[in-house]
Amino acid sequence: MDSNEDGATRRDFLYLTAGAMGAVAVGTAAVPIIDSMNPAADTLALATTEVDLSSVQPGQTITVVWQGKPVFIRRRSPDTIAQIRAEDWHSFRDPQSDQDRVQKGHDEWLVLVGVCTHLGCIPKGSKPMEPKGEWGGWFCPCHGSTYDQSGRIRKGPAPHNLKVPDYAFKSNTLIVIGEKPKSAPKAA
């Protein structure tokens, strides 16, 4: 009877050993597969883009690249801001106020992902001689979508306004695109 019990004990040991080896093999195979789901190093490097705005004049638009997409940064004059904010935006296709598209205290700076929301073309209107459309913003040459000076869709097939990316001001003339702005401290 002792030999039977020894056999069962050896058999149990072999089963446990084989199971442990199988678990190690599965874990060894799973680690590279799971690791491949992490963002690539080049993507992480583009997660944020720092932009110096000190040389941008009122009325000027610059284009930078963030995550492989163009980002339009326009410095607007007080007159332009007043004109935009005087419009009744409630009836627009994608209703959104100008105040919701800029950061409080930095109203002169408009930051937009420069990709048309229709089929992904890059709208014109950032360079001085490019067509800006009827509302002085951006015009998509692919299918005629027209955006105003707040990046809101006003005409054409685009279903939505130009997207506003996350961005944070590090100073009055330095922004980091891809970083959420810090919220204002709450009053006690």
Residues recognised as catalytic: 143
Instruction: Give the distance, in angstroms, between the CA of residue 118 and the centroid of all CA atoms in the same chain.
Output: 17
DSSP H or E stretch at residue 179: none
Longest CA span, the chain: 100
- Alpha carbon of 85 to those of 81, 89, 90, 184: distances in Å? 6, 8, 12, 24
Which alpha helices (H) appear in 50-180, and where do they start and end?
78-86
Query: What are the φ and ψ backbone dihedral angles of 146, each rounded to 5 degrees?
Result: -125, 130
